[in-house]
Structure 1
């Protein structure tokens, strides 16, 4: 899944996603480490200390003892860099603390933003142990939520790009496609030789179209520009749907030129239903918010 780009660099909630990526980078260090029994700790604080020490030392054996032999399945590998490692360790050094959730479950807060390590601690006979299955569910939940939030922000950025297109090369008309026909400026993006000739949308658009492989889709979603509702004056619609339903997202989103969001769970047939849309028609969709 494509994760980087210049379209939405200021989205603050992606900090947690980068920290999750660091966990993936660190956890991926021991794919070939022999299986070891998962450790039970006398207290949540002892477990947190052991986790932080193992990550700081990049100790694959210790990580496996702390989290369990299948810990590398927590986060899919990809798009990891050293900055992620520094970010996490810096956040850990600034602040980390155990946060009880009832009598039998604890989470570990890292940094000052409220982010918590996705794998909770569960009370076991004789002490505390990291609950890896619960962590896998939490990682999936966070990934879906992150992707859907990014998608809504991206749709707003596309709406801004449509406005710029109409005011400039479109001469009052909106673009009908994301990517321009080669040699033309009939879409929101085209390659330009100079800043003066730059398109309203950056090269992230290349990862947004329906033809993009699911693994490379922009934060797990595909996008299309739709004609306005038949009978309306001008306008346009935008639709975004998960590249892999249930894995990279659940909801499909619509945004019209009035900047009103709609969402709908289209189920297992999401891709075919989204591709078959011929115009912007939010009837039967749930209105989310005005933006």
Structure 2
């Protein structure tokens, strides 16, 4: 996603000396300076534009240099600084992707406001994670169907025991047929989750089911999701104790508090 640009910038930045944040006569000058700093991989310019603590406001996703490259390509295709009163936003590319950090008018001129961009950055991060969780649940349905075709029964766990194929995922050697589910459901770091979500197979007498909930409610996601063999996802905001509630589920049985996710 293009909003991963912000996280991708981290590759260019190391600690910089404290400095006053730069201001400009027009918002266009500010956005032009940002594009130039990204293109030149200029760490001093980035800290000067966004403030010395700008990294504190970004989600720790790691580096995505492809997203940076897409931003620079889209900038060349088209870019526009949209001004509304004392706030302006940079939009790039044919799709008009908008940078989540606004440029605001201050007493000293136009400058980027990282604090104002925090909510939008978080909202986009949550949205990406929730979409990834929904897609993962659909992948789970496909995996169970493939597992059934091989074993005439549904898997009761996600990751197989060492040396066995009793779950939906098991490691394979080059040339071997891959397992029904990919390795992303088996993160290298225990508890890390997949795109900010954790997953658990639910008992279901009619087939199979799964629940997904955010690793950190309000930070990596808000909604929790369930699915069964009918491949229809339901969602619900079950609150800050999402993990406890999801782990306490004894069966697939979404009530009226769960709403269908439109395809």
TM-score (norm 1): 0.82
The higher-RCO structure (CA 8 Å, 6+ apart) is 1
Correspondence 1:260-275 to 2 at 5 A: 260-275=232-247
Cα–Cα, structure 1 residues 185 and 17, in superposed 2: closer, same or farther, change >3 Å? farther
Tell me the CA shift for residue 179 of structure 1: 0.8
Matched, 1:63 2:46: yes
Cα–Cα, structure 1 residues 197 and 58, in superposed 2: closer, same or farther, change >3 Å? closer
Are the equivalent residues in 2 in contact too, given 1:24–1:76 (CA < 8 A)?
Answer: no
Matched, 1:283 2:255: yes
Deviations 1:198-238 (A, max 9, x none): 21111112129xx932xx3210100011111xxx5x22111
Cα–Cα, structure 1 residues 165 and 97, in superposed 2: closer, same or farther, change >3 Å? same
DSSP 3-state at the match of 1:183:
coil
DSSP 3-state at the match of 1:207:
coil
Tell me the CA shift for residue 161 of structure 1: 0.9
Cα–Cα, structure 1 residues 175 and 34, in superposed 2: closer, same or farther, change >3 Å? same
Matched, 1:92 2:75: yes
Match of 1:6 in 2: none
DSSP 3-state at the match of 1:144:
helix
Structure-2 separation of matches of 1:61 and 1:198: 46
Are the equivalent residues in 2 in contact too, given 1:122–1:129 (CA < 8 A)?
Answer: yes
Pairwise CA RMSD: 2.2
Correspondence 1:87-236 to 2 at 5 A: 87-100=70-83, 102-169=84-151, 171=152, 173-193=153-173, 195-207=175-187, 212-213=190-191, 216-228=192-204, 232=205, 234-236=206-208
Deviations 1:136-170 (A, max 9, x none): 2211111111100111111111111111111222x
Cα–Cα, structure 1 residues 79 and 68, in superposed 2: closer, same or farther, change >3 Å? closer
TM-score (norm 2): 0.90
